[in-house]
Amino acid sequence: VQELTDDYEEVEYSSSVQEKADVDAILQKPWTFNKSAAEEARKEMFSYFNPYKIITMTSDDATVGQLQRFYHSKAIPMVDVPPGISRLLPKKQLFRNTRYETCALVGNGGILLNSSCGESIDEKDFVIRCNFAEMEGFSADVGTKTDVLTFNPSILNRKFSKLKSSAMRTKFLKRIQSYGKYVLWVPVFTPHFLPIDVRTVLTFYEKNSNYLKDVQLAFPGNVLPEILDFWMSKGVDEERISTGLLMYIIASTICDKIHLYGFYPFPEYNNKPIPYHYEDPVNKSMTTSEFNSNFRRFHRLPDEFVYLKKMHSAGVLQLNIGTCE
């Protein structure tokens, strides 16, 4: 498996993309749901791929040693299925016959800070969060409810010292349990996170399965090329589709009305600087290019935002920006 280097080019955004961060126009009008536009958007998306495959593989799909293609850099598309994976996978497709009227999809953008959106998020029927979102100390802004949570194994490195000490293992277990009963969505076929991190997560889960009965693991399946094709057709051409957009696909699969929070990849709002993540310190003033390059080199979140803004105006989804009071 080829490793990625740390070299990257700063992504430049044209001034027109930066202007598109101007959300006043969309906030002025009250948002109304457009059922037929939402159905149309969903139908088009699902003409590219089977959406259930992104929710999870099932134990029938996981043959050890079989090459899987999953989302990552276009240059590194194939990886092995880690051993032991099929034991942890659900036997049946998740959410096959379930539909929720309202869903909150919570990104981790700094726009959520001081938003008071927690109540609005928690009152939705189903809540999706990304990347082991930090909630302690932020509940007024981000809420407390979680039904699906993504977990990128590289978080073990950054926040849990690779689970090397028993103190870290206890901390990690407590944190996984703290979200309640939910689906933990782990992108296992992403080689740059190192198979070793994936294996550490799987081993940890197996060893502690008695304490993790409320946590259902899910590993997305083999639909990368089709997903990239779909987003490309929407003007989003990225090295790697963001976790938030992947979760938007899941939300589109099981929800009627999708409400987005924390999706705002711009360095300021209402002339005030905001951090990239709501848990980060506030940044000094930055351009959109600096803001996105410094933090996320694989994505073009401002391009994703252009699409989301368009969908908001069409009544397909609701983008919540600013405060929820």
Which has the closest alpha carbon to 106: 258, 256, 208, 225? 258
Which lies closer to ligand CTP via its Cβ, residue 131 or residue 313?
A: 131
Grouping H, G, I as helix, E, B as strand and the rest as coil, residue 51 is coil
Checking DSSP bridges between strand 67-69 and strand 78-80, what pairing results, if any?
antiparallel
Among 23, 56, 57, 107, binds ligand CTP (CB under 6 A): 107
By CB under 6 A, residue 301 contacts ligand CTP: yes
Which x/- pattern, by CB under 6 A, does the window 240-279 give for ligand CTP? Answer: --xxxx----------------xxxx----------xx--
| Alpha-helix residue ranges (DSSP H) falling in the chain | 15-19, 24-28, 35-46, 52-55, 85-88, 118-122, 139-142, 155-159, 166-177, 195-207, 224-233, 243-254, 288-295, 301-313
Q: Which of 72, 259, 277, 299 is catalytic?
A: 299
At residue 127, what is the residue type?
V
Query: Which residues partner with 257 through β-bridges?
Result: 102
Active site residue 299: yes
Query: Which residues partner with 217 through β-bridges?
Result: 184
For residues 121 and 288, the answer to whether their CB atoms sit within 8 Å is: no
Backbone φ and ψ for 160, nearest 5 degrees, come out as -130, 25
Which lies closer to ligand CTP via its Cβ, residue 88 or residue 113?
A: 113
For residues 182 and 146, the answer to whether their CB atoms sit within 8 Å is: yes
By CB under 6 A, residue 109 contacts ligand CTP: yes
Q: Considering only residues 117 through 136, tell me which ones interact with ligand CTP, judged by CB under 6 A.
A: 130-131
Helix axes 35-46, 243-254, angle to 10 degrees: 110
Which residue, judged by CB position, is nearest to ligand CTP in the bound state?
244
By CB under 6 A, residue 228 contacts ligand CTP: no
Which lies closer to ligand CTP via its Cβ, residue 125 or residue 268?
A: 268
CB of 298 to ligand CTP, least distance (A): 6
Which lies closer to ligand CTP via its Cβ, residue 61 or residue 141?
A: 141
Which lies closer to ligand CTP via its Cβ, residue 61 or residue 303?
A: 303
CB of 109 to ligand CTP, least distance (A): 3
Among the listed ranges 41-49, 193-201, 207-215, 236-244, the one in contact with ligand CTP (CB under 6 A) is 236-244
- Report the interface residues with ligand CTP, using CB under 6 A: 107-110, 130-131, 152, 242-245, 262-265, 276-277, 296, 301
Catalytic residues: 299
